[in-house]
Amino acid sequence: MPQHAFGNSDFGLLDQNGKFHQLSRYRDSSAVVVLPFSFHDPASFQIAEDFSTVLDQFTDQNVQVWLLNASDEPDFIRAQERSPAGLPVLIDSSQTVAKTLAVTVLGEMIVLDPGSANVMYRGLNSIQELTPVLTELLAARAARRPSRLQEPAGTMSGTELSYRFLDQFAGRQISYQTEIVPLLQARCAFCHVENGLAPWAMNRHLMVLGWSPMMRETVITRRMPPGQIDNSVGDWVNTHELSDYEMALLIEWIDQRGPRDGETDPLAETRPDVADWPLGQPDLIVDVPEQAIPATGNVDFLVKRTNIEIPQDKWISAVSYKVGDKSVLHSLLVYAVDKSLQTDDADELIAQINADYISVYVPGETDDIFAQNSGYLLGADKDLVFKLRYLTSGRETVDRTQIGFYFHDAEPAMQLSTLAMEKPDFTIPANTTEHIETLTSEPVANDVWLESYSPHAHSRGKSMSLTVTYPDGSEEQLINVANFNYNWQLAYRTAELKKIPAGSVFRAETVYDNSASNPFNPAPESDAAQGYQFDSEMFSHFIRLAK
């Protein structure tokens, strides 16, 4: 029987189609039934298939059914032509959700309340038993009375789920010194520093211990580390997923209640200061107009223009950010506009016809080094425009951020340009959980190479993806930002430049959640229109291409 110290919890997992499901985002559903199963276990597979006979009735009752697969290889699951009863198969390859739900055998159905993440009932392994149980559970909840059901005592029959990570840990105490600290340093602590944007610093054992229940929740819902994508699509670097092993290890340590070993605390050792400009002295330093940030409240997106003077056109090889106050600056997009552009209007300054996207800063990503031998042409006739997002930190401050530009000495072999796939006008109806907008590009005129991709939306953005249709008609998904969070507008970079032949067409898709189930949504009762401000929405996919 697996141990789980913190009871039931919200969680988030990808399914076989790359769609992200977070339990609490289904709080509008009356219940979520989770069935642990394996493609290789005939008994649980059969129960899953049996759902096809009752699924309509469940849909009418607004009940979700999820198959939980903590047994088979993710690649194998995703390669299946179809899933039993066409249901979503949640891929729990770290087995941490199975552990949290205390799954022991395959085929044991668990009924969850998506609002509270509580287990409403467990101990069923046939659809015939499930139907009356659900009816009673839902009737009891509607009448605000306790249910008359008793959970079956004793153990369930079924194939035991083999916990490969827990077996590996074999009941031993996880080492804070040699296992947990290195993991935190690699994955978390570079953001969780003193005076950083994260609300707490991972600077000693006691601190981590105190925050550990929250750490558990943020990693199992995939909120932390930020910027995670669907790793099985494309070959991208600077993404932020924990490996299955790291996930299982961290959660096991937390469930052991964060034991400590060793005399010293490696997290408490002070780290050397990083240089102001880790890439060396920039060729051009540009001041972002300084911003006074209040102590509390919500600061809207800001759009600012700055005049720059360069004697002649330059090829940018890298951009580096020296952030003034790391506790407030949450993201910064950099664009170039013509000096001759006569406008102070924020929407116009960043409109696709006027602005050329260059780069983005988010916490933890201070250096944007373009692919080798490639450069972005910054004309002498350009000004810069910034789109800034600030958080408040509890104290008044003034942010004075600088941007360092590095130039090539001569024209590089490959020129970078940004294909901005943006929609200037669209509306998302109020109270809609899944509103899909797509945009298709013109066929690319010449062969190009995909260098990086940066998705941008506001608080209703739920997932963003990019697909290419090749001249022969075949399709390939290039990237799947399955759990988009507007606070983390990262630029994802291809591990190697990826060739997109002439005649190919890009299709960008953004899925929006304009319902109350979206915890970031400022106004679920209103339609959302396009605009730069926080309560508006944007559809922007920035595709940096080399040619």
CB of 192 to ligand HEC, least distance (A): 6
- What's the length of the chain? 547
Binding residues for ligand HEC restricted to 218-277, rule: CB under 6 A: 218-219, 224-226
507 near ligand HEC, judged by CB under 6 A: no
Of the candidates 417, 406, 312, 408, which has an alpha carbon nearest to the alpha carbon of residue 358?
417
Q: Is 544 in the site for ligand HEC (CB under 6 A)?
A: no
Of the candidates 97, 538, 125, 513, the residue with the CA atom closest to the CA atom of residue 351: 538
Smallest distance, ligand HEC to C-beta of residue 489, A: 12
Question: Which string of x and - marks every residue 189-228 that binds ligand HEC (by CB under 6 A)?
Answer: --xx----xxx-----------x--xx--xx----xxx--
The CA distance from 308 to 144, in Å, is 65
Taking the C-alpha atoms of residue 492 and residue 239, their distance in angstroms, rounded to an integer, is 7
Residue whose CB is less far from ligand HEC, 187 or 460: 187
Which residues, in sequence order, are CB contacts of 524 under 8 Å at separation 6+?
430, 431, 514, 515, 516, 518
Is the distance from CB of 401 to CB of 322 less than 8 angstroms? Answer: yes
**Shortest distance in whole angstroms from residue 513 CB to ligand HEC:** 17
Contacts of 142 (CB under 8 A, 6+ apart): none
Q: Interface with ligand HEC includes 280 (CB under 6 A)?
A: no
User: Is position 34 an interface residue for ligand HEC (rule: CB under 6 A)?
Assistant: no
By C-beta, is 141 or 223 nearer to ligand HEC?
223
Spatial distance between the Cα atoms of 261 and 100, rounded to a whole number of angstroms: 25
Positions in 362-381 near ligand HEC (CB under 6 A): 363-364
Q: To the nearest whole angstrom, how small is the minimum distance from the Cβ of residue 168 to ligand HEC?
A: 20
Which residues, 6 or more positions from 140, have their beta carbon under 8 angstroms from its beta carbon? 146, 147, 148
Q: Which is nearer to ligand HEC, 114 or 226 (CB)?
A: 226
CA-to-CA separations, 216 to 6, 96, 106, in angstroms, rounded: 9, 10, 24
Answer for which of 68, 138, 188, 545 binds ligand HEC (CB under 6 A) is 188
534 binds ligand HEC (CB under 6 A): no
Instruction: Evaluate the CA torsion angle 300, 301, 307, 308 in order and state its sign.
Output: positive
Q: How many residues bind ligand HEC (CB under 6 A)?
A: 18
**Min separation Cβ 241 and ligand HEC, Å:** 10
d(CA 455, CA 99): 33
Least Å from the CB of residue 488 to ligand HEC: 7
Backbone angles phi, psi at 498, to 5 degrees: -110, 125
For ligand HEC, which is the closer residue by CB, 223 or 423?
223
User: Would you say 454 and 418 are in contact if contact means Cβ atoms under 8 Å apart?
Assistant: no
Instruction: Confirm or reject binding of residue 36 to ligand HEC (CB under 6 A).
Output: no
Considering only residues 469 to 488 of the shown chain, the ones binding ligand HEC according to CB under 6 A are 487
For residue 322, state whether it binds ligand HEC (rule: CB under 6 A): no
Q: Does 490 bind ligand HEC (CB under 6 A)?
A: no
Cβ at position 256, least distance to ligand HEC in Å: 16
Give the shortest CB-398-to-ligand HEC separation in angstroms.
20
Q: How far is the CB of 487 from ligand HEC (least distance, A)?
A: 5
Q: How many Å apart are CA 134 and CA 154, to the nearest integer? A: 21
CA-angle at 513, arms to 525 and 452, nearest 5°: 140
Judged by beta carbon, residue 175 or residue 487, the one nearer ligand HEC is 487
Residues that bind ligand HEC (CB under 6 A): 187-188, 191-192, 197-199, 211, 214-215, 218-219, 224-226, 363-364, 487
